[in-house]
Structures are given as structure tokens and as C-alpha cells.
Amino acid sequence: MADPRRAKLAIIDPHTDLPVDLAKSAVVVGLMIAGIVLRFEPMPTKMAGAAFIFVSVLLLVIWGKGLDRRRERRERALRAKLGDRPYPIRGYVDWLVADRPVTAVKLKRDIDHASLDSVTPGATWSDARTAIVAIPPKSLGNGLVGGDDAALVELLDRLAPIADHVDEIELRNE
């Protein structure tokens, strides 16, 4: 069975490098196997095997760093939809693929609940400094649902008057 999270991520971020990643993996595995086989041969072929193993490990490190940078670029591109906010927003990508997306607004200090309730009607309070705001999921297609980024941006814009009281926004799946 297909992983629903992957299917949702493919809909949200359609840029896939899977063929390139598979080709890179085949190169590394091929070099590693060649190196291991050559290590059982007499000298100087044995040294060529060591070189193949070294090159395969080096490629793993280089391509692994590239994968990290690519993930960071995609995360920044997705987060750019939210705009600049004076507080951190955590868990955005996981929230986008959540079946039941929930937003927790964590405050720096106690404030009058009515001031937050005026900008986020329907919020429930899990404690004195954390308001839980449920944003209904949107359809992503293929029978899948996920977080509604437009509704989240709308919520964040409504929080602008009390932004100096917000410590962080935690996005999660309930």
C-alpha cells in the first residue's frame, strides 16, 4: 500500500528528483560492489578496490549534503507562502499532510483570553498560554486531505494585532 504522507507531499510539492536519486544510488552501490570484489584480488588490484570504496563513500557524503540542501530549499519555498512572521512556526510540512490539522498558538505570557478569542473565534484553551485552533482540512485530490495553507495564512494575518504576545505557532496533527 502506498504511503499517504508521500502521496500528499507529491501533491503539495510536485518537484521530484526520484529518477536522479535512483541513478545516484545505483552508481554508489555499483562502485561499492566493485570495490568489495576487487578487495579480494591480489595487489595492485586490491588497491583499486580500496579506491572504489573510498570514491563511493565520498559520493555518498557529497550527494547526501546536496539532498539536505534540496530539502531545506523546498522547506523554505513552502514556508514562503506563510510570509514573514515575528514568531517561529513549527511543523509546517507535517501539518500540510495532516489528516486533522490543528494549530496551537503559544503565548509568551498570560493575556485576556477574550483578546485572542476576538481574532480566533472557536479557539479552545489547553492551558493559560496555549490556544488550540482547528482549521478544517482541504481536499488535496485522490481522496486525500491535508492542511489548508490559505486558511492558515488568514489565521496568521488575524493574529497580527497580538503578534507581540505570540511566542510560537505549533502546527500538528491531532
Mean pLDDT per 10-residue section of the chain, whose length is 174 residues: 68 65 84 87 84 88 80 74 85 85 88 73 82 87 84 89 88 85
Please say which residue of 81, 111, 142 terminates a domain: 81
In the block, cell 486533522 appears at: 100
- The whole-angstrom separation of Cα 103 and Cα 130 is 10
What pLDDT shows up at residue 1?
47
What pLDDT shows up at residue 146?
85
Total of domains in the chain? 2
Domain region containing 15: 4-81
Other CB atoms within 10 Å distance of the CB of residue 5: 15
In this structure, what DSSP letter does residue 143 have?
T
Same domain for 68 and 115, yes or no, is no
CB 59 within 8 A of CB 28: yes
Residue 19 is inside which H or E element, if any? Answer: helix 18-38
Same domain for 67 and 102, yes or no, is no
Same domain for 20 and 97, yes or no, is no
Same domain for 38 and 99, yes or no, is no
Torsion, Cα 140 144 145 146, to 10 degrees, reads -70
pTM assigned to the model: 0.63
What pLDDT shows up at residue 12?
67
For residue 148, the SS3 value is coil
Please say which residue of 81, 101, 129 terminates a domain: 81
What pLDDT shows up at residue 145?
86
CATH number at residue 108: 3.30.70
